[in-house]
């Protein structure tokens, strides 16, 4: 491919920093060769989680970073995707048609639900949206556990994929570079292809005229409305787009796990993971979700082990083992999250993009942002 094609592939939204570009290439290359290089099941599963959460977090970034709204119902769409595949494959049998039917139904349901949510909560004020989506995500969790006939309740659903994707399927007779090419490997690369496609698609969206309008709305709702862009319509459309991508990442989760359950897709912990990834990576950049997902999930995979070890080592002081227990992972995650929001709002991408000379400048927001904040406040007060 020529350089021009590369630029078009990423919608001319260049990483804006050499380090970031190298990092992104390294992540994609790493994911591409991981099945050949890594043997541990845990390491491979972290790789897949990175691909899934990159899409999930990027779709959340469409809302938080590009539309300026916080949705707590993102896990609901993630869950719809996961359960959609799960329910279709359990009910209709493990065939490609039922997989397609499940995915289509899930996407349609997500579009519908996102439209309805937008219709009711984005019409008046953006804060309603956060409150209503929070209520909805709680309701979805109860629903998933209550309707056990359909969803398997607390236990969730374990199901078989179409034969070609099952681990026992042999696609090549001989090994390729020492790797048996079975259904699991195919599934891995299917998820990777989906992940790359969806992230590029989201890059395309935010760099389209539609994306520019979203940014205008995020920065000054009143003015965007005054120029003639119906804020409500654009926000709702953005919510629908985000919902569809979240739904597809749920599909990817189901493909990999061959399982759909409330804790794996609907829990508040997942919501916090998404928030964390977007903040760490850099809000409003899309690339941030890829970098953030990689950093966060690797850290999560191995930090919990570290907590376990230090908890075991700290039996001398009573109480400390409680605080360091791996069960208290959420405590550390929550603290880290608050600190990240305060002191690291630009995220990894923001830090990497900052010109080298300014790296040591005073912390905090640039004056311009602060003024935008003040202006928003005043605008509301009138």
Considering the complex, what minimum distance in angstroms separates the CB of residue 365 from other proteins?
Answer: 10
Under the binding rule (CB under 8 A), the answer on residue 308 touching other proteins is no
Under the binding rule (CB under 8 A), the answer on residue 155 touching other proteins is no
Q: Which stretch binds other proteins (CB under 8 A): 73-81, 91-99, 138-146, 347-355?
A: 138-146
Q: In 10 A of CB 13, how many CB atoms? A: 15
Under the binding rule (CB under 8 A), the answer on residue 338 touching other proteins is yes
Considering the complex, what minimum distance in angstroms separates the CB of residue 368 from other proteins?
Answer: 7
**Which 8-state DSSP code applies to residue 10?**
T
Considering the complex, what minimum distance in angstroms separates the CB of residue 350 from other proteins?
Answer: 15
Q: Which stretch binds other proteins (CB under 8 A): 1-9, 49-57, 306-314, 370-378?
A: 370-378
Under the binding rule (CB under 8 A), the answer on residue 313 touching other proteins is no
Sorted by sequence, the CB contacts under 8 Å of residue 381 that are 6+ apart come out as: none
Under the binding rule (CB under 8 A), the answer on residue 343 touching other proteins is no
Residue 12 backbone phi and psi in degrees, to 5: 60, 15
Considering the complex, what minimum distance in angstroms separates the CB of residue 357 from other proteins?
Answer: 23
Number of residues that bind other proteins (CB under 8 A): 53
CA distance 113 to 343: 35
Under the binding rule (CB under 8 A), the answer on residue 230 touching other proteins is no
Q: Which two three-digit tokens encode residue 340?
A: 């990240």
Nearest-CA neighbor of 260 among 168, 165, 152, 113? 152
Comparison of 116 and 313: residue with beta carbon closer to other proteins = 116
Q: From the list 9, 135, 158, 176, which residue makes contact with other proteins (rule: CB under 8 A)?
A: 135
Q: Give long-range contacts, CB 8 A cutoff, 24+ apart: 11-15.
A: 11/200, 11/203, 11/204, 11/206, 11/207, 11/208, 12/207, 13/203, 13/206, 13/207, 13/286, 15/287, 15/349, 15/353
Q: From the list 121, 206, 212, 251, which residue makes contact with other proteins (rule: CB under 8 A)?
A: 121
Report H helices in the chain.
3-9, 18-37, 41-64, 74-92, 96-121, 126-146, 148-151, 183-206, 209-219, 221-227, 231-257, 262-265, 268-281, 287-313, 320-324, 329-343, 347-353, 367-381
Under the binding rule (CB under 8 A), the answer on residue 266 touching other proteins is no
Q: From the list 21, 115, 215, 272, which residue makes contact with other proteins (rule: CB under 8 A)?
A: 272
Q: Which stretch binds other proteins (CB under 8 A): 126-134, 155-163, 201-209, 255-263?
A: 126-134
Q: From the list 155, 263, 305, 327, which residue makes contact with other proteins (rule: CB under 8 A)?
A: 327
Is residue 68 left, alpha or beta, with left meaning phi > 0 and alpha meaning psi from -120 to 50?
left
Nearest-CA neighbor of 296 among 355, 351, 352, 347? 347
**Which 8-state DSSP code applies to residue 170?**
B
Give helix 96-121 / helix 126-146 axis angle, nearest 10°.
Answer: 140
Comparison of 70 and 201: residue with beta carbon closer to other proteins = 70
Under the binding rule (CB under 8 A), the answer on residue 304 touching other proteins is no
Q: Which two three-digit tokens encode residue 227?
A: 């120029």
Under the binding rule (CB under 8 A), the answer on residue 123 touching other proteins is yes
Q: Which stretch binds other proteins (CB under 8 A): 137-145, 195-203, 305-313, 355-363?
A: 137-145
Under the binding rule (CB under 8 A), the answer on residue 299 touching other proteins is no
Under the binding rule (CB under 8 A), the answer on residue 144 touching other proteins is no
Under the binding rule (CB under 8 A), the answer on residue 19 touching other proteins is no
Binding site for other proteins (CB under 8 A): 64, 68, 70, 120-121, 123-128, 130-132, 134-136, 138-139, 142-143, 146-147, 220, 268, 272, 275, 279, 322-323, 327-328, 330-331, 333-335, 337-338, 341-342, 368, 371-378, 380-382
């Amino acid at each position: 491919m020529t350089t021009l094609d590369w630029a078009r592939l990423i919608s001319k939204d260049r990483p804006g920093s050499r380090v970031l570009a190298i990092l992104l290439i390294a992540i994609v290359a790493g994911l591409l060769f991981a099945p050949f290089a890594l043997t541990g099941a845990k390491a491979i599963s972290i790789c897949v989680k990175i691909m899934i959460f990159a899409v999930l977090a990027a779709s959340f970034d469409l809302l938080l970073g590009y539309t300026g709204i916080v949705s707590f119902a993102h896990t609901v769409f993630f869950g719809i995707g996961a359960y959609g595949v799960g329910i279709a494959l359990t009910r209709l049998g493990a065939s490609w048609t039922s997989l397609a039917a499940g995915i289509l139904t899930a996407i349609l349901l997500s579009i519908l639900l996102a439209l309805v949510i937008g219709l009711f909560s984005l019409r008046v004020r953006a804060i309603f949206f956060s409150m209503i989506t929070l209520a909805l995500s709680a309701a979805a969790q109860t629903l998933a556990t209550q309707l056990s006939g359909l969803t398997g309740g607390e236990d969730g659903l374990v199901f078989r994929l179409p034969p070609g994707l099952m681990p026992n399927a042999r696609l090549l007779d001989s090994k390729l570079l020492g790797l048996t090419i079975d259904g699991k490997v195919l599934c891995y690369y299917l998820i990777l292809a989906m992940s790359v496609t969806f992230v590029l698609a989201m890059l395309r969206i935010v760099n389209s005229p539609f994306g520019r309008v979203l940014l205008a709305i995020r920065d000054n709702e009143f003015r965007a409305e005054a120029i003639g862009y119906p804020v409500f319509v654009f926000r709702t459309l953005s919510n629908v787009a985000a919902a569809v991508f979240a739904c597809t990442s749920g599909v990817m989760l189901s493909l990999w796990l061959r399982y759909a359950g409330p804790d794996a897709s609907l829990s508040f912990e997942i919501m916090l993971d998404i928030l964390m990834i977007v903040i760490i990576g850099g809000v409003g950049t899309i690339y941030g979700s890829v970098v953030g997902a990689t950093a966060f999930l690797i850290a999560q995979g191995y930090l919990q082990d570290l907590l376990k070890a230090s908890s075991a080592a700290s039996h001398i002081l009573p109480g400390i083992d409680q605080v360091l227990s791996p069960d208290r992972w959420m405590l550390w995650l929550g603290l880290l999250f608050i600190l990240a929001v305060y002191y690291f709002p630009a995220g990894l991408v923001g830090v990497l993009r900052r010109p080298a000379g300014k790296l040591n400048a005073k912390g905090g927001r640039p004056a311009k942002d602060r003024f935008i904040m003040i202006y928003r406040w005043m605008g509301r007060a009138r």
